[in-house]
Structure 1
């Protein structure tokens, strides 16, 4: 039997990984090389791009905003074998510095909860793109592959029947596999004048942050499938999202 690696080793990205291989409530496992999550792709080498194409990559969804893309262009824009989409997921939120100033106990879980409430049109658009994507692997990504990417990954895994403990573990993997990436992002934040205390909060992948987001969905929306329906993701699309990981 072929053995898949969750982390896809690339020269120019550090957090591109597979949502396959997770046990579901039905006793099966999520499908490998169907949906990938990742960090920024601007430094991918030609060999990296060929490697991703070799894994079946057919759709890329960039969750970053226009400013981020202008600074670090996506190599799949205009690619002849990959469909590229840009949906900035957190654009409806205040800058993280403002959110931190407004709360003495700010945690990234607070930001995820706000995104779940305030970024529903963008989240719905991303999920619809995935549901309607052509055959082949879908890769969605942001800058670190942790926050915007983490929220979308959690929704997809929960909808596929993966338990919350596993979803939280998947979220927390960034902290253990992305040391060089986190170090680089930390230095960039310091250069922008962000406080080291806030940087530590923003770049952390604390399990409690994703737990807070999942609890928020359960408390305010009932379940992830209920939340998806509220977004306007219809039953057929909910089923297609689940089938992509089945």
Structure 2
């Protein structure tokens, strides 16, 4: 894992070779500067996988092709615990989570995956994609936990304004601030424990629409081997 400074975004990290990662994660890229777009293109990024809902998206300032794969199917939650929300995504929206991992596998180049802060939806999809390649659980959780340090300064004011309008009691306010701003290791641990109870990463993804060939392609990509192209057809995904 390596941090990637990007003009016009934040919370960006790459996996694989520093000069040619096989996967990149970040916060929203709508406001990329020309320099930020150039940074991504020089790293080989030629597809953006956007996990946000349509109402979260803004005018894009970059020309990298975008694949829209909204995970929630509704407006993102403003309150609640990270653990409950991750559980909901994994149990109620598992087909969308698996579709995002499959899209990473099927793309022959380098994709950058993002949501709004690049913390929760992105964190979950990237964690499952990396675990499917054989990456160690502790390594994956350590990467996830890095996001809070970038997200909190970037979004503290936005979160405060949103939560002020809800007039929450202190305990609910603290829980919701954690949702918006933090990436505690125990939250991803909770999610991955659930995946384990559901059969483990590979079984979880395959049971929800990914194919063994796609998971093999992820492993090849992470190992630096050429992607195995398959005749498998992905389920129709929202664009």
Which TM-score band applies after superposition, normalised by the shorter structure? 0.7 to 0.9
Q: Which moved more, 1:167-176 or 1:181-190?
A: 181-190
1:202-243 deviation digits (Å, cap 9, x = unpaired): 122111100000000111x22101111101211111101222
CA distance in 2, matches of 1:49, 1:12: 9
Q: Which residue of 2 aligns with 1:25?
A: none
Aligned residues: 218
Q: Quote the residue 2:91 is aligned against.
A: 117
CA contact (8 A) 2:2 2:15 kept: yes
Q: How many angstroms does 1:121 deviate by? A: 2.2
Q: Which residue in the other structure is 2:221 paired with?
A: 244
Q: Distance in 2 between matches of 1:10 and 1:87?
A: 22
CA distance in 2, matches of 1:133, 1:211: 28
Are 1:171 and 1:205, in contact at CA under 8 Å, matched by a contact in 2? yes
How many Å apart are 1:139 and its aligned residue? 0.2
- 1:168 aligned to 128, 141, 145, which one? 141
Instruction: Please report how far the alpha carbon of residue 192 of structure 1 lies from its aligned counterpart in structure 2 after TM superposition.
Output: 4.5
Q: After the TM superposition, which residues 24-103 of structure 1 pair with which residues of structure 2 at under 5 Å, given as runs?
A: 33-69=21-57, 72-76=58-62, 79=63, 82-91=64-73, 95-97=77-79, 100=80
Contact in 2 for aligned 1:93/1:119 (Cα 8 Å): no
Deviation at 1:181, TM superposition (A): 1.5
Which residue does 1:108 correspond to in 2?
82
Specify which structure has the bigger relative contact order, considering alpha-carbon pairs within 8 angstroms and separated by 6 or more residues. 1
Answer whether contact 1:93 1:114 (CA < 8 A) is retained: no
Please, which of 118, 124, 137 is the counterpart of residue 145 of structure 1? 118
SS in 2 for 1:33: strand
How big is the alpha-carbon RMSD for the aligned residues of Structure 1 and Structure 2?
2.3
The answer for the alignment partner of 1:8 in structure 2 is 4
- 2:49 touches 2:68 (CA, 8 Å); kept in 1? yes
State how far apart, in whole Å, the 1-side matches of 2:46 and 2:164 are.
36
CA distance in 2, matches of 1:31, 1:225: 29
Given the two structures, how large is their TM-score scaled by the length of structure 1?
0.80
- 1:11-51 CA-partner distances (Å, limit 9, x unpaired): 21111111337xxxxxxxx9951100110112211111111
Post-superposition offset of 1:148: 0.3
| 1:215 maps onto 2:193 in alignment | yes
Give unpaired runs (5+ residues) of structure 2: 224-239
- The Cα shift of 1:182 comes to 3.1
Q: 2:19 and 2:92 mapped to 1: Cα distance? A: 30
CA, structure 1 residues 53+191, in 2 after alignment: closer, same or farther (shift >3 Å)? farther
Q: CA deviation at 1:245?
A: 1.4
Deviations 1:71-106 (A, max 9, x none): x23334xx3xx3310011122688343xx3xxxxxx
Q: Is the 8 A contact 1:110 1:209 kept in 2?
A: no
TM-score normalised according to structure 2 size? 0.82
